[in-house]
A and B are shown apart, each in its own frame.
Chain A
Amino acid sequence: MSNLLPPVTIVDYGMGNIRSIEAAVRHLGYESRVSGDRTVISESEILVLPGVGSFPAAMKAIKAREIDTGIRDAVASRKSKIMGICLGMQLLTDFSSEDGGSPGLGILGGAVERFSRHVAATLPVPHIGFNSVVAPEGSVLFDGLPPETDFYFVHSFRMATGKSSALLATATYGEKFVAGFESGNVFGTQFHPEKSQSNGLRLLANFLGSELT
């Protein structure tokens, strides 16, 4: 492994709390750069896709800047690794029904929907706060963390558990849902590692330092 760590590109499409992710990446000893430029993104080896807000609005902003093409070039052609956080994780999937519905980047199969009605009948939605996440066996992201670890969530939409080619981490809020996934060079967390104290820093370090096979 080279001593020179590649810079981490934090994808900026105008929606997301970029500052905390930047701070966490730097805290872990990596150089970070924030970019919404298609070429910079397509040539990056490590990408983080953040996001807070509405799924269709985010896709619209991403397409307007041709960031979708940049991400696909990097992830599919260059085999760069990417981690989506919160809405960023959702954007990596095929589809979300939020605000009338919108296709996603389609990098990982799966769809995102609002928490089920029976959840909303008994629990407040959005789901906010620290909740415990069950790690899948053999996970790169959760390496060195206990089988159940607390992470910080803020979301109303979630990816339902089901058949997936990816390794799925799960959490329960009235129902079980996907708290994180990993498949080759594609990673995602519904929770915010950059807001989850040392648990989140460990997980981010695992992502940044992971070797691709």
Chain B
Amino acid sequence: MKKRLIFTLLYEKGSFVLSRNFRTQKIGDVRWLGSHYNFEKASRFIDELILINISGDPSFDEHFRETLSEVVSGVFVPVAAGGGVRTVDDAASLFKFGADKILVNRAIFEDPVLVSTLSRRFGQQAVVGSVDVRRIGSDFQVYTDKGTQVQPADRLGELISQGDLGELYLNSLDRDGTGQGMDPGIAEILDNSFQVPLILAGGAGKPEHLLNAIALPYVNAVATANLLNFVGDGLRKTRESIVNSGVELAQWG
């Protein structure tokens, strides 16, 4: 299977944001993204797009869906969306507004029945488990709620073995937003535990960070949410350097 370069857009209360160790900085709305970063052009260099709503406030759900819908109207790749999926209806409306997959986060631990229901209704491939991870020596810990809530990692394995999660999005708690490089050790530890594609996120500050991570055998995809460093020419350069290194990505004209 070809590997994937993914861009993640973080949305919080009406605006896209940058995250640095879970402290967020407002960037701009969907129009701003278009005018300042020519996002549609930059999106020609990614294999997939992820939108995460980190508002933690259901009153922004509707605006998030509108934003999703606007973004996907000019981006012709698979799109995953999530954040605040509490019910089957929440998920269904994200699909309706243009998502091909949804991300589940707290529901993995608080409402696994919902995750099973989503998987049966929309297909296992359409449900992505998204968690924050911290490596502790040769072990790891799984977190939700912006790194404040430790969660039982076994639950991920249970849902995967039941066929309820199609892939895992692992964001490094320590590297999140630092631009200091990704933490390949996380995927290495997790690789022995789970038999689904792993998306590694957190810490990419320049193309070689993504290149180093995607080259690892147990990493299927790398994601960055770093608008400042990557959108613009950064995604094109990153894609070129990955292809030149011999890692197989999809090609288009």
Cα–Cα distance between A199 and B252 once the two chains are bound (Å): 6
In the assembled complex, B123 has its CB within 8 A of some CB on chain A: yes
- Tell me which of B26-34, B93-101, B110-118, B170-178 binds A: B93-101
B2 / chain A contacts, CB cutoff of 8 Å: 129-131, 150
Please tell me the number of chain A residues within 8 Å of chain B, measured between CB atoms: 30
A126 / chain B contacts, CB cutoff of 8 Å: 123-125
Interface string of B1-43 (1 = CB under 8 A from A): 1101000000000000000000000000000000000000000
Cα–Cα distance between A199 and B123 once the two chains are bound (Å): 26
In the assembled complex, A40 has its CB within 8 A of some CB on chain B: no
In the assembled complex, B215 has its CB within 8 A of some CB on chain A: no
Of residues B2, B44, B72, B252, which shows the largest number of chain A Cβ atoms within 10 Å of its Cβ?
Answer: B252
Cα–Cα distance between A186 and B251 once the two chains are bound (Å): 27
Cα–Cα distance between A53 and B44 once the two chains are bound (Å): 28
Contact residue among B97, B166, B250, B252 (Cβ-Cβ distance under 8 Å from A19): B97
- Those of B66-117 within 8 Å (CB) of chain A: 69, 72-74, 76-79, 95-98, 100
Please tell me if the beta carbons of A129 and B4 are within 8 angstroms of each other in the complex: yes
Please tell me the number of chain B residues within 8 Å of chain A, measured between CB atoms: 27
Q: Knowing A129-B1, A198-B44 are in contact, say whether A152-B77 is a contact too (CB < 8 A).
A: yes
Cα–Cα distance between A119 and B77 once the two chains are bound (Å): 26
Please tell me if the beta carbons of A23 and B77 are within 8 angstroms of each other in the complex: no
Chain A: CB-nearest residue to B251:
A150
Please tell me if the beta carbons of B77 and A17 are within 8 angstroms of each other in the complex: no
B123 / chain A contacts, CB cutoff of 8 Å: 52-53, 126, 154
Q: How far is the CB of B2 from chain A (nearest CB, A)?
A: 5
Q: Knowing A17-B95, A126-B123, A154-B125 are in contact, say whether A23-B253 is a contact too (CB < 8 A).
A: no
Cα–Cα distance between A202 and B72 once the two chains are bound (Å): 18
In the assembled complex, A196 has its CB within 8 A of some CB on chain B: yes
Please tell me if the beta carbons of A23 and B4 are within 8 angstroms of each other in the complex: no
Q: Knowing A19-B97, A126-B125, A128-B166 are in contact, say whether A202-B253 is a contact too (CB < 8 A).
A: yes
Interface string of B218-253 (1 = CB under 8 A from A): 000000000000000000000000000000011111
A residues within 8 Å of B by Cβ?
A: 17, 19-20, 23-24, 26-27, 52-53, 126, 128-131, 145-146, 149-150, 152, 154, 192, 194-202
Known pairs A53-B123, A152-B250, A192-B78; list 11 more (Cβ under 8 Å).
A19-B72, A19-B97, A20-B100, A23-B73, A23-B76, A130-B4, A130-B249, A149-B252, A150-B252, A198-B44, A198-B76
